Amino acid sequence: MGEIIVVTSGKGGVGKTTTTANIGTALASEGLRIILIDTDIGLRNLDVVMGLENRIVYDIVDVTNGNCRLKQALIKDKRFENLYLLPAAQTKDKSAVSPEEMEDLCRELKEDYDYIIIDCPAGIEQGFYNAIAGADQAIVVTTPEVSAVRDADRIIGLLESSDLRNPKLIINRFRPRMVRQGDMMDIEDIVDILAVDLLGVVQEDDRIIVSTNRGEPAVMNLISPAGEAYRRIARRIRGEEVPLMNLEESYGIMNRLRRFMGLC
């Protein structure tokens, strides 16, 4: 029986789609059977991040409307044959999928897959409630900024009142250097304020943009710090105890020198 994980945030653009693609790919690379569902109806993105945009024939609304069978709409990944994407529709009608339809869909997919990872739209409208309807577990993504953490807090409240208790937090676009300069909230500030379990910290990493350009998730890139962070997150999802990445390593030579000289 598979597990259904929804990736949420509240604030837009903090990295839900990036997170979904990377965790899914990392888990698939370990041989697990994975489905990614894009529920951002009207603003389909996950297909592009995965590099699968040219293969789409049917989408999630075709499935729930009965235009095709579920299996027909699933797109097989280029790299892993045990990884599939169910794309969002590009229609404007955000209520095209109901919470009940989503639950049915999840129940069906649970039989054949180990993890079903749902990319949630931004905001707290109906699309959010549709996306979380069938989920067993939630991940909340935030960046270390006041507005994003504030929205994350709101989402955690809504998840808990929808019976998705103990959501797990990912802090994305973290910049250790700014923290050390006293210009960014630190991991413990955020975890403390939100009072949730930390699933991982992903650094700001230019390679994320490169990998999005190529349609190849950063976990495929062995020198990407963000890719390494997502690989660790995937192992934690499987229940392994994995220490946080050594964020210091990427500080660069000047910082290391400074530290060596005891200047900061």
Partner 1 sequence: MLLEYINRVLGKAASSSRIHARERLRLVLVHDRAKMSPYFMNQLKEDLNNVIARYMVIDFDKFEIVLDQSDKVVELKTSVPIKKIRRDYMDRIKRSS
φ and ψ at residue 202, rounded to 5 degrees: -115, 125
For residue 14, CA distances in Å to 46, 99, 121, 181, 200 come to: 14, 24, 11, 22, 14
Q: Which is nearer to ligand ATP, 16 or 232 (CB)?
A: 16
Of 22, 26, 34, 40, which lies in the binding site for ligand ATP, with binding defined by CB under 6 A?
40
CB of 177 to partner 1, least distance (A): 10
Of 181, 209, 246, 248, which lies in the binding site for partner 1, with binding defined by CB under 8 A?
181
CB of 183 to partner 1, least distance (A): 5
Q: Please tell me whether residue 29 binds Mg ion under the rule CB under 5 A.
A: no
For residue 181 the two structure tokens come to: 């300069």
**Binding range to ligand ATP, per CB under 6 A, among 14-22, 59-67, 88-96, 190-198:** 14-22
Total binding residues toward ligand ATP, as defined by CB under 6 A? 20
Distance of alpha carbon 78 from the chain centroid: 19
**Binding range to partner 1, per CB under 8 A, among 31-39, 75-83, 142-150, 200-208:** 142-150
Of 43, 48, 56, 179, which lies in the binding site for partner 1, with binding defined by CB under 8 A?
179
**Binding range to partner 1, per CB under 8 A, among 2-10, 38-46, 56-64, 186-194:** 186-194
**Binding range to ligand ATP, per CB under 6 A, among 15-23, 79-87, 89-97, 186-194:** 15-23
Which does residue 150 touch among Mg ion, ligand ATP, partner 1, none (CB within 5 to 8 A, set by kind)?
Answer: partner 1
Please report, as residue ranges, which positions from 154 to 193 form the binding site for ligand ATP (by CB under 6 A).
Answer: 172-173
Handedness of CA 178, 12, 236, 49 (dihedral sign): negative
Of 8, 9, 17, 25, which lies in the binding site for Mg ion, with binding defined by CB under 5 A?
17
Q: Please tell me whether residue 175 binds partner 1 under the rule CB under 8 A.
A: no
Instruction: Please give the residue ranges that form the binding site for partner 1 (CB under 8 A).
Output: 145-146, 149-150, 153-154, 157, 179, 181-186, 189, 193, 254, 258, 263-264
